[in-house]
Chains A and B, each alone.
Chain A
Amino acid sequence: MGNISRPAAKWIYYGTIIFICIILQNMVFPRFPIWGVKGLPIVAAVVMAALFTDAWGGGIAGFLCGIICDAMMTPGNGFFALTLMLVGIAIGLSGGNYFRKTLLTSLFLTLITLSSVVVLYYLVFFGVTGKAGIQALILVGVPQILVSTAFVVPFFPFFKATHKRFKSD
C-alpha cells in the first residue's frame, strides 16, 4: 500500500465495498429489481463494517451511508443518517464483546437491523400518516428485508478478508 497507513488502507478496502453497494442500491436495482423489490445492500454493508471495526468505524460509516441514502431516497429527511449511525455504533460497541465475526452472525445482525429500519421507516412515513396499511409492510417490507439480508453472503468474504489482512490494527 506504499505510503498509505494501514488503517487508511483498511478503510479504502471497506469504502470500496460500500461504494459498490451504493451503486447497486441507487443505480442498478431501481432498473433491475430483485424479487420485485429494490434491495438495501448499504444497510448490510454498514452492519458488516461496524462488526469488523468498532463503534467509531460503524458510526461514521453508518452516518455517511445514511446521508447518501437520505439524499437519494424520498422521503429521507435524516432518517437513514440517524438510524444507520446508531446501528453502526450499537453493533460496533457490542461486536467485539458479544459477537463472533462469522457469516451467521452477520446474517443475523443484518436481518435484525433491516427489520428494525424497514418497520421504523414504514411507521414514520406511512403508518402514522395513514398513507399505507399494514399490507404495505407485508408486500414490500418483508421481501425487501429478505432480499437485502441476502447481500451479506457475497460481501461477507471481502469484509472478512480485509479484517484478517489488517488484524493488527
Chain B
Amino acid sequence: MKFFLRHKGVVLVSAAALLILGMAVFSFFSKDGTTPLSNAVNFLFRPLHILTDSALGRIDNTRAAMADYESLAAEYDNLYAYVAEMQEELRRSRQIIDENDRLRELLGLQKRDRKFEYISTAVIDRSLTDWSRTFLLSKGVEAGIKKDQCVISSSMYLVGIVSEVGSGWSRVTLVTDADMNAGAKIERTGQTAIAMGDWDLMRDGQLKLSYIDRESDVQNTDLVLTSGQGGIFPDDITIGSVTAIRDEPSGQGSFAVIEPKADLANLSQVFVIKSFVITE
C-alpha cells in the first residue's frame, strides 16, 4: 500500500478516472457515438473479428446443417411450394401495377417513387453481451456510414440503426435491442404506433408495438411497417408481424408483440441506407 501511495498511485488513478470520464462525456456528445480510444481498439481488433467470424461461422454452419438436415429438407419443400405461390401472386400483382399505372395516367397523378442509396457491408460480429443486441459491421466512416442511418436486410426488412461509427467498423443497434425506438404503422389499418425494444422480449428476439389505441383492431399476423415519422427511417420498411397482444404491466392499455421479419440470427450481409428520397 505504502509503495503504491509513495509512487503517486492516487494521482495516476485520479488521472485515469478523469480520462475515462472525459471519454464518456466525449462519446455522449460525439456525432459518431464513439471515442478515439474506442475507435482505435475496434480498428485494431477488426482483422481478428473478420478472421474469427469467418472461421467460427463455417463451424457453426456445418454443425447446424448436420444437426438439422431433416428440418432443412422439410423447409426446402415448404419454400418450393411457397415460391410457386409467390410466382402466381407476382403475376397478379403485375396486372394490378399495370392497371394502377393506367389509372394514374388517366387522373394525371405523379407516381410514388422511392430512391434509396445503399452501402453493402458484412456482419463481422454479433452482440458481445447478453444485455444488448448489436452487430459489428465491416465498413465505417470511410464508406459514408453515419450515426442514425437505417440498416436493412437484402429482403428490405428492418435490421436496426447505426449507433456507432469508426474507421473500418460501425455498430448497429438491432430492432430487438431494449434501446430501440421507431415510428411504426400497422399495414392493414394504417394506424400509427411506436415499435420499441423491450428487455424481456429482447431475449426471445422480439420487440413490442406500444401506444396503440384502446379501440384499435390489431390482430395476430398483422404486418408492422415503419411510419417514416421522425425522418430517420424511410416509411414502409417491414419491421415484422404481430404474434400476440398483451396487457401492459401497469394495466393501462395493451401492446402487441412483434416478431421481426429479418432473420437476425443468421444475417451475414446487411445494407445501410445512405440516403433516401420518397416522391409522393
Contact surface of A with B, Cβ cutoff 8 Å: 23, 25-28, 30-33, 37-38, 54-56, 59, 63, 67-68, 70-78, 81-82, 85-86, 89, 92-93, 97, 121-122, 125-126, 131-133, 135-136, 139-140, 144
Contact = CB atoms under 8 A, between A and B. Distances in A.
Contact of A132 (B4, B20, B199): B199
Contact of A140 (B42, B131, B171): B131
Contacts of B132: 73-75
B133 to A, nearest CB: 9
Interface of B: 1, 3-4, 7, 9, 12-13, 16-17, 20-21, 23-24, 27-28, 37-39, 41-42, 45, 48-49, 52-53, 56-57, 60, 125-132, 134, 163-164, 171, 173, 178-179, 199-200, 203
Contacts of B203: 139-140
B41 A72 contact: yes
Main secondary structure of the interface of A (DSSP, over half): helix
Contact of B4 (A56, A70, A131): A56
A74 B199 contact: no
B132 to A, nearest CB: 5
A78 B52 contact: no
Given A81-B20, A135-B200, A25 B38 contact: no
Given A23-B52, A140-B130, A140-B131, A30 B9 contact: no
A33 to B, nearest CB: 8
User: SS class of chain B's interface: helix, strand, loop or mixed?
Assistant: helix
A74 B171 contact: yes
A43 B134 CA distance: 21
B4 A55 contact: yes
A72 B128 contact: yes
Nearest to A122: B131
Contact of A68 (B4, B13, B20, B41): B41
A75 B128 CA distance: 11
A59 B13 contact: yes
A72 B131 contact: no
Nearest to B197: A131
Given A74-B164, A132-B178, 17 more contacts: A26-B49, A31-B56, A31-B57, A31-B60, A38-B129, A67-B37, A72-B45, A74-B129, A75-B132, A78-B20, A85-B16, A89-B13, A97-B1, A122-B131, A126-B199, A139-B203, A144-B130
